[in-house]
Amino acid sequence: MPSKTRDDLAQALLKSQNAALVVGAGISYDLKIPLGYRLPMEFGAAHQSLLAKVGLLSAWQAAQSATDPDTRWNLEKIFVDVLVSKFAGSIELQQVLVGWLGQVESMAGVQSDTHAAFAVTWLQRKFKHLITTNWDFLLEWQIDGIYYEAYNDPFAPANYSFASGANCTIQAEHLFFLESLEGEDYFWHPRWDIAANVSDLPNLRRWSRPLWKIHGSPVFLACPKCGGFSHWKFEAELKVNDPCPVHPDERLLPEIVFWGQGLDTAQPEVWQRVKKRLQRSDCIIASGFSGSGSDVYIRRVIEANSNAWVVNPSKGAWDVDKVHFVETTAADLAQLLIERVITI
């Protein structure tokens, strides 16, 4: 397809009635969350004795010592594949990895105009669907902050101010669902929720607006009986292998789709929900998302859409004959949304 501009992208989104936003690790790059295999490699560097204990040290050392870029990438993949295979069988590895991720800068969430712009555009329903492959909680952190302020007066529009000084408004009915109770009483249900696992699906209601966190997160702890328990914040009092507070006979385990794995095989029922939303969308924007490796199944669905847009610094694995490609960053896309779509 012919190259497109930021203005073309803004016009396409403003005309859309059912747009979807798909974001990946690249949207968090500016906040120093390592991309791709750098995250597990840095974990390995910090936990040499644990790697030796679970039989991973030699694979990590081989990848770390490689100098040729292609060779290094292949050896990193071997290390990560072995790490993933060992993860399910080692409670200690699960506990240490989850704890280490909790210390990664920005993983738990900090103020970010980029993530806030994506969150606000979704809350305003300019994007009807929000799908993320990220383990971090930067999107959720912004959303939770908006709701924290909105609860002061859930009948009034919520105002949000970006660090840049721009302002926007979110209508109350876009944040809450008003349920009539007895007499003149009402209850305001927050509309947003997180869907990461098949156990989350029964909790969705007709008024729910799920953020589809399709790779889960190592700090999502799940009970086999009652599903996700610690969505979405880090819970200091809970850790992997603790008894479930509701079902003490069950142990809490991480809900995660790892490197080399895909939602299509790990959680096929969840993927079918996401896939149908993408197929019905009249505009899809993907940003910070390479579409390579185990995520190729998502890329193919996006490329099949007649109005798909990819906003990345490079083309990566995308077939630019099938999508509109805008060569820029996620931060630039966020600024475009602030300037042209969501602010007052």
What is the per-residue pLDDT across 275-325, written as a single tens digit (0 to 9) for each?
Answer: 999 999 999 999 998 887 778 899 999 999 999 999 999 988 899 999 999
What's the CA dihedral at 86, 88, 89, 91 to 10 degrees?
110
Query: Could you tell me the residue ranges of all domains in the chain?
Result: 6-32+108-213+262-342, 38-101
Question: What's the CATH number of domain 6-32+108-213+262-342, 1.10.8.10, 3.40.50.1220, 2.40.50.100, 3.40.640.10?
Answer: 3.40.50.1220
Q: What is the mean pLDDT of residues 223-228?
A: 69
Cβ distance 77 to 69 under 8 Å? no
d(CA 188, CA 168): 22
pLDDT on residue 233: 46
Closest residue by Cα to residue 285 from 305, 315, 256: 305
**Strand 253-256's sheet: what is its strand order?**
227-228, 216-223, 253-256
Model pLDDT for residues 46-91, shown as the tens digit of each residue? 999 999 999 999 999 999 999 998 899 899 989 998 998 898 888 8
Closest residue by Cα to residue 6 from 334, 343, 344, 284: 334
178 Cβ contact partners less than 8 Å away, ≥ 6 residues apart: 186, 187, 188
pLDDT on residue 284: 98
Cβ distance 224 to 250 under 8 Å? yes
Closest residue by Cα to residue 96 from 234, 240, 253, 243: 240
Is the pLDDT reported for residue 239 higher than 90? no
pLDDT on residue 180: 66
Closest residue by Cα to residue 13 from 169, 129, 127: 127
Is the pLDDT reported for residue 197 higher than 60? yes
d(CA 126, CA 29): 24
Closest residue by Cα to residue 106 from 130, 133, 140: 140
Is the pLDDT reported for residue 206 higher than 70? yes
Per-residue tokens: 204: 């969705």
Of 176 and 344, the structure prediction assigns the larger pLDDT to 176
Is the pLDDT reported for residue 18 higher than 70? yes
pLDDT band for 234, please (50, 70, 90 cuts). Answer: very low
% residues pLDDT > 70 (the chain): 94
Is the pLDDT reported for residue 32 higher than 60? yes
Q: Classify residue 282 by burial, with Cβ atoms within 10 Å: 0-12, 13-18, 19+.
A: middle
**Cα angle 64, 59, 75; round to 5:** 60
- The single-letter code of the amino acid at 6 is R
Model pLDDT for residues 274-289, shown as the tens digit of each residue? 999 999 999 999 999 8
Q: What is the mean pLDDT of residues 173-182?
A: 80
% residues pLDDT > 90 (the chain): 48
Helices (H), 16-166: 38-46, 48-53, 57-65, 69-87, 91-101, 113-123, 138-150
Q: Look up the pTM and report it.
A: 0.89
Q: What is the mean pLDDT of residues 106-116?
A: 88
Mean pLDDT, all residues of the chain: 87
Count of other CB atoms within 10 angstroms of residue 192: 20
d(CA 217, CA 128): 23
Q: Which H or E run contains 168? A: strand 167-170
